[in-house]
Amino acid sequence: MEKAMNKNDEMMQREKEEFEHDISRLNDMIKISKKIVFFGGAGVSTESGIPDFRSPNGLYRDYLDPRVVPPEVILSHTYFEEHPKEFFKFYREKMLYLTASPNRAHKKLAELEAAGKDITVVTQNVDGLHQKAGSKKVLELHGSVYRNYCTGCGQFYNVNFVANKKYPVPECSICGGIIKPDVVLYEESLREQTIVDTVKAMEEADMLIVAGTSLTVYPAAGFLNYFRGRYTVVVNLSRHEREDRADIAFHQRVGDVFSRIDTDYCTDKKDTI
């Protein structure tokens, strides 16, 4: 029994030492790199209380019953058009987290950018938390819940109007058209300008950080193929194929890793001698 405990203690100590070593390497890579792309998925926002989709505690867990319409169908363009009332019921309950606050990862990225690091955030999330934290260079692959437009005349509406349950299906006060959230639904294409800007950021970056994503959603995951830079770092609780090409792979929460980034060191504001 005692021998088994000692073995576990040794393993835990070794893992701790490896983690500290990788954190040191991560800080060095950020310090050296001139242009960094942070490619984030749903796992970036889970610490803010927003569930992801495919983890054991994710959104899809509640829709395993084949008699229940799955999220992939509800969040499709066809379902939005044919069943708008049911779409907005799900959307309000499962997609809007308006009181959520930026977590450690969001804040650290904004802090690094404010301190002078050239960081482009490419996010698959629609929650706007990167902007709330202060990041300026944010590319939203799947849009944002904070933008909403009439499908008839294009009139803009804020998220509070759409969130108001008084209107089961929010309609435009000008033309009566249905108001659609500016999020990319299944069956819809990504915005052309967002595609161009993301490809450009990937091609110019010398460091890529992939965090909180299983890389199962396409075409978003395909953008990683445009990266030809020097360093790749993966931060994700579960393993995925990108790790085979990564310089460092962390299997910790994104916030646990990013809270260990030393902004002063990475931006040459700390004496390193």
Catalytic residue IDs: 142
Q: Compute the distance between CA of residue 119 and CA of residue 159 in angstroms, rounded to an integer.
A: 27
Contact predicate 208/232, CB 8 Å? yes
- Does a cis peptide bond (omega within 30 degrees of 0) precede residue 71? no
Strands 143-150 and 156-157: antiparallel
Output the CA–CA distances (angstroms, integers) from residue 93 to 119, 163, 165, 178, in the order listed.
Answer: 33, 9, 10, 19
